[in-house]
Amino acid sequence: MALLKAGGSTLLLLMMMCRQSLGQPSFSVDYHNDSFSKDGENFRYISGSIHYSRIPRVYWKDRLLKMYMAGLNAIQTYIPWNYHEVSPGRYSFSGDRDVEYFLKLAQDIGLLVILRPGPYICGEWDMGGLPAWLLSKKNIVLRSSDPDYIDAVDTWMGKLLPMIKPYLYQNGGPIITVQVENEYGSYFACDYNYLRHLTKLFRSYLGKEVVLFTTDGAGLRFLKCGSIQDLYATVDFGPGSNISKAFAAQRYAEPHGPLVNSEFYTGWLDHWGSNHSVVSSVAVAKSLNNILAVGANVNLYMFIGGTNFEYWNGANGPYSPQPTSYDYDAPLSEAGDLTEKYFALREVIRMYRKIPEGPLPPTTPKYAYGAVSMKKLQTVSDSLETLSFSGPVKSVYPQTFIELNQAFGYVLYRTTLPVNYNNSTPLSSPLNGIHDRAYVSVNGVAMGVLERNVALTINVTGEAGSQLDLLVENMGRINYGNHMNDFKGLVSNLTLGNEMLSDWTMYSLSIDEAVSQGLLGVGPTTLTEPPQPAGFSLPTFYEGSFRIPDGIPDLPQDSYIKLPNWRKGQIWINGFNLGRYWPTRGPQVTLFVPANILSTAAPNNVTVLELEGAPCDSTLCIVEFTATPILNATMQSDFQPSRRLYAKEDLL
Ligand SMILES: *[C@@H]1O[C@H](CO)[C@@H](O)[C@H](O)[C@H]1NC(C)=O
Ligand SMILES: *[C@@H]1O[C@H](CO)[C@@H](O)[C@H](O)[C@H]1NC(C)=O
Ligand SMILES: *[C@@H]1O[C@H](CO)[C@@H](O)[C@H](O)[C@H]1NC(C)=O
Ligand SMILES: *[C@@H]1O[C@H](CO)[C@@H](O)[C@H](O)[C@H]1NC(C)=O
Ligand SMILES: *[C@@H]1O[C@H](CO)[C@@H](O)[C@H](O)[C@H]1NC(C)=O
Ligand SMILES: *[C@@H]1O[C@H](CO)[C@@H](O)[C@H](O)[C@H]1NC(C)=O
Ligand SMILES: *[C@@H]1O[C@H](CO)[C@@H](O)[C@H](O)[C@H]1NC(C)=O
Ligand SMILES: *[C@@H]1O[C@H](CO)[C@@H](O)[C@H](O)[C@H]1NC(C)=O
C-alpha cells in the first residue's frame, strides 16, 4: 500500500492491469449495488440444477451443453456424501462419481458452478445424502452439534473441500458460490452452533473470499433458524408463489445484496402411488419472467432431473418413497430430451441474456429393442448360500440393516413357528416396524406382504416348527424432516397371534454383487413350488438376454424397459442396477435404460428380482424395450393411493 501511494497513479493503474492480465478472478457480494460482483462488474446468474449422481458420466457433456444452449450461465449441483464415502473412510470418486471431471466439463463448456456440498442435501436422495452408517450410533442427532455427527462431518469435509478448492472461481475454476447445509431453517434442531461450526470449517478449507450461502423456504419462520452471519441468505420458491412477498422474506435476512431464488421449481417430485407431477410450461415461463424482471438471480430446480439408479431414491414422511425416475417434469426430460418447457424457458431467458449461437444438440435417439423372454431362476430363499456372502447372523430379537452392516437392498429374516396355527392367525407388527416392506412365506408358501404404514397385519397358517421367512426391502430412507434416523429391516418385534416371535436367523444379501458376478442360478433349485393360494409368489430371480441387431447404424441407443404384468421388484442389465419397478402402484411404468450399459459385442443380460409374482406361469413371460417412457400411469392397480399431494409445508 505504501508503495502504491509513493508511486502515484500510474503505478496503481499498471498494478491493476497486471492483476487483470494475471487473471486473478474475483467473485463477491456487492452490498452496495444489490448484486453479485464478478471481476469487478455487476453480475447476475441464471442457473439450472443438474445432479451428476443421477446421470451416467457419458451423458454429462450432452446435458451441460443443452443447458448452456438454453442461455444459462451457471449450473447448480449437489454433492451427496453417501455417494462418495461408502463406509467410514472409504471413498469413491471415479467413473460416475468423478465430481472433479464434472466440474471441469462445466467449465470447458462455459458454465459457472454453484456448489451444494451439504453435508445434508435433501434432494429426494437416500437420507438426504447423509450416509446410513451414521446410524450405527443409534441415538445420533443428525444435522446438529452432536459430537458423533460432527466428527464424521469434519472427516468428510476434510477430504472433500481441499479437493474442491482449486475449482473455486478465485483459483481459476468455475465455482462462484458454495452453499452450506440445506434448508436448515426447516429442521427442528435450530442449532446455531452447528451452522457456526460448518461456517468455520468451510472457511478454513476454502478461504475467506469465497461466497458462502444458505437456502431456505421463503418465509420468516424458515429464515429464522436457517440464516446466520457470514453466510449469504437466499430463498427458494416455485411458480405458485408471490414473488415480491418471497423476496421480501429474503430482505428480512439480507437487507442488501443480490436477490436470489436458489430453487425455482420447474416441476415437482413424485411418490409411488400418487399421480405424476406436472407443472405447465406457461406457469413456469411466466413466473421466471417475473423473477428476472426484478433483477433477481435464479436457479431452476431441476433443469434436468435424471434417474435414481440402484437404491438412491429417498422418501418423505409420513413414509412415502420416491420412484426411480427423477424426471421432475423438468425442461430436459429424464433422458435429456428437449421438451416444450425447454424452448419456452429459453425464449424467456432470451429477453434478458444473449443466447449462444449455433445448433442445439439433438434429443438422443431411443430404440425399441422389443420383447425379451425371461426364464425363471432360483427363489431368494433357495439362493441364500450364494447371496449371503457373510453368512447368517443369529439373535433372539431382530436386528436392523445397520446392525447387520448392510445399507441398501434386502435382508432375509427367518424363524420358526412356535406352535401350530391351523387357523388363519394374524402376523403383526404392532409398532409399525416393517421398514419398509416384507414378503412373507411359510415353508415356501407365500402368505402376503407387510408394508410400513399400509399393511401391519396379515394372516398366516402353519404347523409348529415351520419356517417363517420375511424378505425385507429397504425402499429408501427419509430425506426430509424430523425422522431421518430411518432404520431399516425389522425395527421392532413381530407377533404371531399372542406370541412374540424370537430366535431369528438373518441373512444379509449381496444381491448386486451376485448379479454382476453371474452367480445366480447355480446351486439347488426348488423341485416344484407348492401351490401359492394367497395370490403372491415367492421372491424369485428371472433372467433373459437379447442381442443388439447387426446392420443398424448408431446402435446401441437409449431405451426404456417395461414389465407387462410384473408387479414389483428390482432390475439389472449387464449387472448395472437400473432401479426399482412397481407398475402396479405407479405412476412410473417404464425405466430409463441408458445406452452406455448395453453391449453390441455380446448378448445383453437382463436380471429381474420379482418380489410378488411374475406373469411367467400364466401369460407371456417377457420384458419389453420400448422407445417412449410412461411415467404417469398405473397398471392394474392393487392399491388405493392416498391422493395426498405434498407441498413443501406439508413435509415438515
Ligand atoms: C453500481 O451501480 C452504480 C449506479 O447504478 C454504477 O455506476 C456502478 O458501476 C455499479 N458498480 C458496479 C461494480 O458495477
Ligand atoms: C403479493 O404480495 C404483495 C406483498 O405482500 C402484495 O402487495 C400483493 O398484492 C401480492 N400479489 C398478489 C398477486 O397476491
Ligand atoms: C392342527 O393340525 C395338526 C396337524 O395338522 C393336528 O395334529 C392338530 O390336532 C391340529 N390342532 C388343532 C387345534 O386343530
Ligand atoms: C384374518 O383372519 C380372520 C379370521 O380368521 C379375519 O377375521 C381377519 O379379517 C383376517 N385378517 C386379515 C388381515 O386378513
Ligand atoms: C423385542 O422385545 C424385547 C423384549 O421385550 C426387547 O428387549 C427388544 O428390545 C425388542 N426388540 C426390538 C427390535 O424392538
Ligand atoms: C451376458 O452373460 C453371458 C453369459 O454369462 C456372458 O458371456 C456375456 O458376456 C454377458 N453379456 C454382457 C454384455 O456382459
Ligand atoms: C400421460 O402422459 C401422456 C403424454 O404426455 C399423455 O398423453 C397422457 O394423457 C397421460 N396420461 C395420464 C393418465 O395422465
Ligand atoms: C390423478 O389422476 C387421475 C387420472 O388422470 C385423476 O382422475 C385424479 O383426479 C388425479 N388425482 C389427483 C389428486 O390429482
**Which ligand number lies closest to the CA of residue 273?**
8
How far, in Å, from the CA of 208 to the mean position of ligand 4?
Answer: 66
pLDDT value for 527? 52
What's the pLDDT score for residue 189?
A: 95
Nearest residue (by CA) to ligand 1, atom 10, is 33
Ligand 6 centroid, distance to 486 Cα (angstroms) = 37
- Is the CB of 397 within 6 Å of ligand 5? yes
CB atoms within 10 A of CB 90: 9
Cα(243) to centroid of ligand 2, in Å?
8
Residue closest by Cα to atom 13 of ligand 2: 242
Of 422, 425, 460, the residue with max ligand 3 atoms within 8 A of its CB, to mutate for a pocket test, comes to: 422
Look at residue 620 and tell me whether its pLDDT is greater than 90. no
| Residue 543 is a catalytic residue | no
Any ligand 3 atom below 6 A from CB of 465: no
Locate 358 and state its grid cell. 449455433
Q: Is the pLDDT of residue 14 over 50?
A: no
By mean pLDDT, which of 20-34, 71-85, 601-615 is the weakest? 20-34
Ligand 4, CB within 6 Å, residue ranges:
423-424, 426, 457-459
**Confidence label for 636 from pLDDT (cuts 50, 70 and 90):** low
Report the pLDDT value the prediction gives residue 365, as an integer from 0 to 100. Answer: 95
User: Does the C-beta of 519 come closer than 6 Å to ligand 7?
Assistant: no
Q: Ligand 2: which residues within 6 Å by Cβ?
A: 242, 244-245
Other Cβ atoms less than 10 A from the Cβ of 370: the count is 12
- Mean pLDDT, the chain, rounded, equals 93
pLDDT for 358-387, tens place per residue?
999 999 999 999 999 999 999 999 999 999
What pLDDT is recorded for position 533? Answer: 77
Q: What's the whole-number mean pLDDT along residues 215-240?
A: 96
Cα separation values, 144 from 95, 174, 190, 484, Å: 32, 30, 8, 13
Q: Is the CB of 398 under 6 A from ligand 5?
A: yes
Beta strands (DSSP E) in 282-420 are 297-304, 315-316, 320-321, 370-373, 375-379, 393-395, 410-416
Question: Is 90 exceeded by the pLDDT of residue 607?
Answer: yes
Task: Tell which wins on pLDDT, 464 or 533.
Answer: 464
Rounded to the nearest 5°, which phi and psi values hold at 571?
-135, 140
Q: Which atom of ligand 4 is nearest to the CA of 426?
A: 1
**What is the rounded CA–CA span in Å between residue 120 and residue 181?**
5
* Euclidean distance between CA atoms 13 and 326, whole angstroms: 52
* Set 85, 124, 181, 183: catalytic member: 183
Taking each helix axis from N to C end, the angle separating 192-206 and 147-164, rounded to the nearest 10 degrees, works out to: 30
Please compute the mean of the pLDDT values over residues 546-553 and round it to a whole number.
90
The pLDDT-based confidence of 634 (bands split at 50, 70, 90) is confident
Is the confidence at residue 309, as pLDDT, over 80?
yes
Catalytic site residue from 181, 254, 263, 310: 263
Apex CA 203: angle with CA 198 and CA 204, to 5°?
100
| pLDDT the model gives residue 100 | 98
pLDDT of 136 > 60? The answer is yes
pLDDT at 529: 67
Average pLDDT over residues 119-132: 98
Ligand nearest to the CA of 248: 2
Atom 3 (ligand 1): residue with closest C-alpha?
A: 33
Torsion of CA 212, 216, 218, 221, to 10 degrees: -120
Q: Write out pLDDT tens, residues 428-444.
A: 999 999 999 999 999 99
Provide the pLDDT for residue 601.
95
Mean pLDDT of 161-180: 98
Question: Does the model's pTM come out above 0.75?
Answer: yes
The verdict on the CB of residue 640 being under 6 Å from ligand 8 is: no
Q: Could you tell me if 72 and 303 are in contact, meaning their C-beta atoms sit under 8 angstroms apart?
A: yes
633 or 570: which leads in pLDDT: 570
Q: How far lies 517's CA from each of 309, 609, 645, in Å?
A: 19, 16, 41
- 485 in helix, strand or coil? coil
More confident residue, 367 or 3: 367
Say what percent of the chain tops pLDDT 70.
92
The predicted structure's pLDDT at residue 336: 98
Catalytic annotation present for 124: no
Q: Once rounded to an integer, what is the mean pLDDT over residues 95-99?
A: 98
Ligand 2 binding pocket mutation candidate from 220, 245, 247 (most atoms within 8 A of CB):
245
Cα 232 to ligand 1 centre (Å): 21
**262 CA to middle of ligand 2, Å?**
21
Q: How far apart are CA 23 and CA 14, in angstroms?
A: 14
Q: What percent of the chain has pLDDT over 90?
A: 89
* DSSP H helices in 518-594: none
Residue nearest to atom 7 of ligand 6 (CA): 602
| pLDDT surpassing 60 at residue 22 | no
The residue whose CA has the least distance to atom 2 of ligand 2 is: 245
Nearest ligand, CA of residue 38? 1
Atom of ligand 1 nearest to the CA of 30: 13
Ligand 5 centre distance from Cα of residue 494 (Å): 10
Mean pLDDT to the nearest integer, 292-309: 98
Pocket test of ligand 8: the residue of 268, 270, 271, 275 to mutate, having most ligand atoms within 8 Å of its CB, is: 275
pLDDT value of residue 93:
98
Query: Which band of pLDDT confidence, cut at 50, 70 and 90, is reported for residue 553?
Result: confident
